[in-house]
Amino acid sequence: MRLENKVILITGSATGIGCAIARRCVAEGARVVIHGLEADLAAAVVAELGADKAVSHIEDLNAEGCPQRLVEVAVKSFGRLDAVVNNAAMVGQGNIHTTTADFFSKMLHVNAVVPFLLIQAALPELRKVRGCALNIGSVNAWCGEPNLLPYSVSKGALMTLTRNLGDTLMQEDGVRVNQINPGWVLTENEAKRKREHGLHETWYQDLPKIYAPAGRILWPEEIAAAAVYWLADESGPISGQVMDLEQHPFIGRNPPKDTSTIPAPAKL
């Protein structure tokens, strides 16, 4: 198995992409720390994966000392920490006209500063095993939609953090830092947002080809499959890299001739 005996901490793993990554990691031989804000959902994931393979920690990442406590849970429960997956993120709409300074600052803190703090807290343990960190970004990091301004900027900041630490920590500590940028993924939260926007329950089954050339959007399990490569030893010394995971080129793509009737997706 590709992650045999590794211990992996995954933020925001009670649902969505994080949960899919946790499941795949355990299937590949790892033990995992499940993190989230919903105790019942996290408990259900631990029960599914098995108490010998998973533990949970429920706490807001904004709380002072939370990153260090997460690292301590991993070490206390499993004796080591091989990898950190910064998956938890704040998603919210806002443009140049509607975004307040407080909202912008909070988005940057949750999506860029907290991942930095978690890697910082985990570094002493990662250094021992020449471990790694994997940041979950977004294709919006390259520019982003007009109504996702603060979110897109925060993911751009995360991307720069990945490249900077990927170089620095590989040289100094032998610790790899990489990032994957998912496109439009059908998570529970994305489905909920679309229902709140007034779309029907099966909206994802009839999407314009410009957004879903394959006839559907991505599944969380497909992101998890890609994550395993970066968490496994098979990725070797590769560090400071960012990989987009979308079914079409996000940069420089030819737009449709008439976009007036096409609803914009809220990509992760």
Give 60-81 pLDDT, tens digit per residue: 999 999 999 999 999 999 999 9
On whether residue 86 sits in a domain, the answer given is yes
**For the chain, first and last CA: distance in Å?**
29
Q: Considering the domain boundaries, does residue 16 fall inside one?
A: yes
- What the block records as the tokens of 22 is 């946790």
203 within some domain: no
Q: Is residue 259 part of a domain?
A: no
Of the listed 151, 204, 211, 229, which one is catalytic? Answer: 151
Give how many domains the chain has, as a whole number. Answer: 1
Contact status, residue 37 vs residue 243, Cβ threshold 8 Å:
no
Within a domain: residue 230?
Answer: yes
**Domain-embedded: residue 38:** yes
Range of the domain at 112: 7-183+218-245
CA distance 73 to 56: 8
pLDDT at 257: 59
Q: Give the CATH number, domain containing residue 224.
A: 3.40.50.720
Q: Which residues of the chain are under the pLDDT cut of 70? A: 190-201, 203, 252, 254-268
Residue 260 belongs to a domain: no
Residue type, 5: N
pLDDT given for residue 264 in this prediction:
53
Decide if 151 is catalytic: yes
Output the CA–CA distances (angstroms, integers) from residue 250 to 141, 144, 216, 244, in the order listed.
11, 10, 16, 9
pLDDT at 161: 98
Half-sphere exposure of residue 236, counting CA atoms within 13 Å on the CB side? 2
Q: Could you say which DSSP state residue 237 is in?
A: T
The verdict on residue 170 lying in a domain is yes
Contact 86, 115 (CB under 8 A): yes
pLDDT at 186: 81
Query: Which conformational region is residue 257 in: left (phi greater than 0), alpha (psi within -120 to 50 degrees), or beta?
Result: alpha
Which residue is it, tokens 């957004």? 211
Please tell me the number of Cα atoms within 13 Å of 81 on its side-chain side. Answer: 28
